[in-house]
Every structure is written in C-alpha cells, then in structure tokens.
Amino acid sequence: MRFGIVVFPGANCDHDAYHVAKHVLGQDARFVWHKDRDLSGLDCVVLPGGFSYGDYLRCGAIARFSPVMEEVVSFAAKGGKVIGICNGFQIALEAGLLPGAMLRNRSLKFVCKDVHLRVENGNTPFTKGIAEGTVLRMPIAHAEGNYFLPDDELARLEGEGRVAFRYVDAAGQVTDAANPNGSRNNIAGILNAKGNVLGMMPHPERLAESVLGGEDGLRIFEALLGS
C-alpha cells in the first residue's frame, strides 16, 4: 500500500506516521509537501498531527487553504482513503471533508494523556478486523478536541454509523469522566458519508510499537492494509 504523509508547516507527527507506514509495516510511503499537488499513485493520504501555522485563528483553519488540500478533497471524492489525525482531523473538518467543528477543550487546557477508545463501527477501512466494542488505548495531545455537531446532524451521524470511536473508561463504558475534552457523545473519531475519510483526535501512530509501550495504534494501520 502506498501512503502519502502531508507535511504542513508546524506538523510534528508527520515522521511518526511515516515511520509506522514505512518501517513498522514495511509499506511504501512518501512525504507530500503542502504546496505540492501530486498525489499520484497513493492509496492513503495521512493528514498528520501537529500545530500547523501555530494554531492561529483556529487549529487547521489556515492549513485548510494549503494547495495540497484541493487535491486531497478530490482524492477523497474519488474514493481514496484519507486519515486525519488530531491536527489532521481539525484540518479535515475545516476543509469540509468531515462534518462539524472543534471547540477548545472544556477544561480550556491542553490535555496530554492516554485514553481508552471503543470501536463503534468495525466495518470501515480503518477498523476492519477489529470487533465492535473493542477497547483500544491511545494517547491524546490537544487543546481543541471538543467535537461539536448540532443535534440534528449528530443524530444523523450516529444513525449512519459514522462514529468510529468513542472515549470510554477502561471497562468500555461511556462516562463523562472518560471524556477528556467535552466532545459531544464522547466522540473521538468520525467518518465521512462514503466511509473513506476518517478523522480522529487520538494518535494511533504514537502507540504502534511495543517498545513505545503498546501496539493498539498499529491496528488502525493494519486494518487499512487489509481493506
């Protein structure tokens, strides 16, 4: 599988994503500078985490205008797989690839810790082979991860099975205490209508090797290979 990892000014998880694709999974991977437009030959585009443009205005609000994003939108429209991780999720929201918006964390603080995620939909290219209800552990590190969607759109998103992951406690229960940022319905990751674009706040690329303390993140990348 061929991965393209977009490099925005201020990205800080681009190398982690590249490392997992290339060296942990042994796949083809290349960096794509945000001013370039060539996505030819790619199967999956990764919008990585970080602090694109210093998080000015809103996280992702400036990166969304990078030339590459026009190509990412048409790549997604043609069915190409796109995974937006943390800042990449924020950029995908700003670009209209996914519905909704991110608000500041309800604590108004940057939150950096491991969380538990429950797989809500196991029938996506990013979760294939992972049973629904499986609880995964992954790190989060963000200040604007408080996912918001108005009631009617939220009901539609839920009804269409487009919530990929939800924040839960270690036992797999949705609780307010397990919600690290105030996201509606404890949402940690969502899909577009076609199911080929995933946005998630937790960082699978940061916990994809046992030497780093866990491999739960690798399962998302492995699912992609099998899809």
Ligand X SMILES: NC(=O)CC[C@H](N)C(=O)O
Q: Annotated catalytic sites, by residue? A: 86, 203, 205
Q: Yes or no: say if 180 and 186 are a contact pair by the CB < 8 Å rule.
A: no
One of 59, 119, 168, 191 touching ligand X (CB under 6 A): 59
Q: Select 141 or 218, whichever has its Cβ closest to ligand X.
A: 141
The CA distance from 56 to 49, in Å, is: 15
**Closest CB 134 distance from ligand X, rounded Å:** 23
**Closest CB 90 distance from ligand X, rounded Å:** 6
HEC readout, 69-86: HHHHHHHHHCCCEEEEEC
- What does the block give as tokens for 187? 């949402």
Query: Computed from CA positions of residues 156, 161, 167, 168, in that sequence, does the dihedral angle turn out positive or negative?
Result: positive
Total residues contacting ligand X (rule CB under 6 A)? Answer: 12
Burial of 158 (0-12, 13-18, 19+ CB in 10 A): middle
Contact positions with ligand X (CB under 6 A) in 156-215: none
One of 4, 50, 125, 180 touching ligand X (CB under 6 A): 50
| DSSP-assigned letter for residue 87 | H
One of 14, 94, 120, 144 touching ligand X (CB under 6 A): 144
One of 98, 143, 191, 223 touching ligand X (CB under 6 A): 143
> Is 71 one of the binding residues for ligand X (CB under 6 A)?
no
Region of 142-150, 151-159, 180-188, 216-224 interacting with ligand X (CB under 6 A): 142-150
Angle (CA) 19-137-221 rounded to 5° is 35
Contact positions with ligand X (CB under 6 A) in 80-99: 86-87
Positions that interact with ligand X (CB under 6 A)? 49-51, 55, 59, 86-87, 141-145
